[in-house]
């Protein structure tokens, strides 16, 4: 009698609130910059549906909540009727294949410049401290950021409302829920991290104050669309976009505990080892305290391969594992993990081009590459 194939932890089912996942391999939110004039395009239908499996969870690329949220060219938005309508066939294509689709909603804050902002105004942030020029992913080009304008205390409710409306629009577009982008040095992270937040009002100073705005966003969205449709992504240990914190363990644990008040669906944490955008490093820190503290589904991301992901699930360090570059370059990643098949190499130079095909929907499936 033939022996059974060994169980692959990543390919076991998981109950994600009201959703029944058939496996634990998640498409991470990945900026692709192919949404011309900030409107999702028909070519995204193929991109997302290629990466959809029945019972698989996909998280959309970061999607701007308002005109002030923009920080990069050709990123999608969800604040207009046109954008909502453009998302609908993309979401429908994922649902047609049995996938679960969450929209990551985003405000870049000071990681922008006046050229992206309404009327050429300064980007908004927790601070008026500027960001240094940043070398782009091609290692050559440099992005210059204009100094931001510190949000007034009385303006913060308007930004919270922008997040709330974006969540409502996402549900209207058909998404199953939203992931709040609270990571990687963007607006919410700019409030949480003490390297950036130098405020003296109720949104600055203490850890509780610095986390107030992100948690108010969580509450507003949970009240609007239901906590069972809400997740958040956090990167307490990362210093992307010059946004680090002097006490990342305390920050992550405070957020994990505080999120329980709102009973949201999941918390998506980036590994401490991911200090830079592309490379992982040895790191003595762990997400274990946050995993233990948070009551909902716990998703991890950051440099995982098949072996790492299986270990994380098998050892109960995570419920789900999000994959970025490997899912980008292997649209059938769960199948490759199931078979232990080799992976396509990814081409970093085509990650952020505006081409509707190259580096986007032209990576081969197993049957194409055999």
Which of 104-108, 283-287, 322-326, 342-346 has the lowest average pLDDT? 283-287
Pairing mode of beta strands 230-234, 177-182: parallel
**Neighbour tally for 39: CB within 10 Å:** 15
Catalytic residue numbers read 186
Half-sphere exposure of 337 (CA within 13 A, CB side): 26
Mean pLDDT across the stretch 91-100? 98
Q: Are 134 and 203 in contact (CB under 8 A)?
A: no
Task: Determine the pLDDT at residue 1.
Answer: 43
Cite the beta strand spans of the chain per DSSP E: 14-16, 19-21, 25-27, 57-59, 63-64, 100-106, 124-125, 134-135, 142-143, 149-150, 177-182, 230-234, 266-270, 297-301, 320-323
Distances (CA, A) of 188 to 29, 224, 279, 290, 345: 16, 19, 24, 19, 33
Q: Residue 368 — very low, low, confident or very high, per pLDDT cuts 50/70/90?
A: low
What is the reported pTM? 0.96
Give tens-digit pLDDT for 10-33.
999 999 999 999 999 999 999 999
């Amino acid at each position: 009698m033939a022996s059974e194939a060994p169980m692959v932890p990543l390919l076991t089912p998981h109950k994600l609130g009201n959703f029944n996942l058939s496996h634990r391999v998640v498409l991470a939110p990945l900026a692709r910059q192919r949404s011309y004039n900030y409107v999702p395009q028909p070519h995204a239908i193929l991109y997302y549906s290629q990466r959809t499996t029945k019972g698989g969870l996909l998280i959309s690329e970061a999607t701007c909540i308002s005109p002030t949220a923009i920080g990069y060219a050709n990123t999608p938005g969800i604040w207009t009727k046109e954008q909502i309508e453009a998302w609908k066939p993309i979401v429908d294509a994922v649902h047609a294949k049995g996938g679960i689709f969450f929209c990551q909603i985003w405000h870049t804050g000071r990681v922008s410049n006046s050229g992206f902002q309404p009327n050429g105004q300064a980007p908004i942030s927790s601070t008026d401290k500027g960001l240094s020029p940043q070398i782009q992913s091609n290692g050559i080009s440099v992005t210059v950021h204009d100094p931001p304008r510190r949000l007034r205390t009385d303006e913060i409710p308007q930004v919270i409302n922008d997040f709330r409306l974006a969540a409502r629009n996402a549900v209207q577009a058909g998404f199953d829920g939203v992931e709040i982008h609270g990571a990687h040095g963007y607006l919410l992270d700019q409030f949480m991290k003490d390297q950036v937040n130098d405020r003296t009002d109720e949104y600055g100073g203490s850890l509780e104050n610095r986390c107030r705005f992100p948690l108010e966003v969580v509450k507003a969205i949970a009240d609007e669309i239901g906590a069972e449709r809400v997740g958040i992504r956090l990167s307490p240990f990362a210093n992307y976009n010059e946004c680090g914190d002097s006490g990342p363990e305390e920050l992550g644990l405070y957020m994990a505990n505080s999120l329980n008040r709102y009973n949201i669906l999941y918390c998506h944490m980036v590994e401490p080892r991911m200090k830079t955008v592309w490379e992982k490093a040895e790191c003595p820190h762990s997400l274990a305290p946050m995993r233990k503290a948070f009551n909902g589904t716990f998703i991890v991301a950051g440099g995982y391969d098949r072996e790492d992901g299986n270990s994380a699930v098998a050892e109960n360090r995570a419920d789900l594992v999000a994959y970025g570059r490997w899912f980008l370059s292997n649209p059938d990643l769960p199948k490759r993990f199931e078979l232990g098949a080799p992976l396509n190499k990814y081409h970093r130079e085509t990650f952020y081009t505006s081409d509707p095909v190259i580096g986007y929907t032209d990576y081969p499936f197993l049957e194409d590459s055999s």
